[in-house]
Amino acid sequence: MRLLKLRTSVALTALLGLCSMGTFCIWPDPGGNNGPPDPSTACADGEPPAAGAAGLFFSDPKGGATPLAEDASLPIEYGPQGGQHVMVAIRHHTRGGGVWAYRLAFEPEAADPAAPEPDPAAPEPDPAAPRRPVLEGSNTVPVNACASGWTETIAPVFLNFRDGGQADAAGEIPAARGVLRLVATPRDAGEKVSAEIPLQIAM
């Protein structure tokens, strides 16, 4: 993944600054989902977004200015303490530097309202049949944005199995489908910017 001029001063300094302001505090996940890599940020070259173009978007995990394609598949990763997460790439253009809080969330795909109600007389599904896992999760990370330019961030989203997730007879688990959302808020202002994209998480 292409991340130039990696910044290492983000995690502790920004976290302490956010908590001291009483604005955003990020505590370890009590469910034990700690262990993925810390968020990383880098300043990136590029022209400012054109009028009407997005200044905040999910980017291709391979790096660069390419937006992540809708319905792309990201791999789930398993941490050393038993949790699971997915790493996402974000590209954000700001007019000046400063600490932002990125609130990331993966929401499972909603049921199709046009789908027929299940027949109570229908037989129980085959336990060996593939089942779509229902994943959900979130994370808030501090990001030290680059001054008047693009910031590239790689950050984890902690995930939990809400239901399902059983493997089929071949040991495979289908990809989870849903929407990845991001709300970015600067520490010293009330403005918010957001982005979202439908995607899949592959087991």
Write down how long the chain is. 203
Closest CA to 90 of 122, 68, 119: 68
CB 139 within 8 A of CB 38: no
Contact 58, 64 (CB under 8 A): no
pTM of the model: 0.71
Q: Residue 77 falls within a domain, yes or no?
A: yes
Contact at 8 Å (CB) between 70 and 35?
no
At residue 17, the 3 state secondary structure works out as helix
Q: Is the pLDDT of residue 35 over 60?
A: no
Residue 27 CA to residue 95 CA, distance in Å, equals: 29
- Would you say residue 119 lies in a domain? no
The burial of 65, by beta-carbon neighbours within 10 Å (0-12 exposed, 13-18 middle, 19 or more buried), is given as: middle
**pLDDT tens-digit readout, 110-163:** 765 565 665 666 666 566 555 667 789 999 999 999 988 999 999 999 998 766
* Residue 2 forms part of a structural domain: no
Say how far apart CA 37 and CA 60 lie, in whole Å.
18
Asked if residue 62 is part of any domain, the answer here is yes
- Predicted pLDDT at 43: 93
Instruction: Assign residue 152 the CATH number of its domain.
Output: 2.60.40.10
Domain that includes residue 147, residue range: 11-48+55-110+130-202
139 vs 35, more confident? 139
Return the pLDDT at 19. Answer: 38
Instruction: Indicate whether 171 belongs to any domain.
Output: yes
Is the predicted pLDDT of residue 3 greater than 70, yes or no? no
Would you say residue 1 lies in a domain? Answer: no
How many domains would you assign to the chain?
1
Q: Is residue 5 part of a domain?
A: no
**Is residue 4 domain-resident?**
no
Angstrom distance (rounded) from CA 56 to CA 182: 9
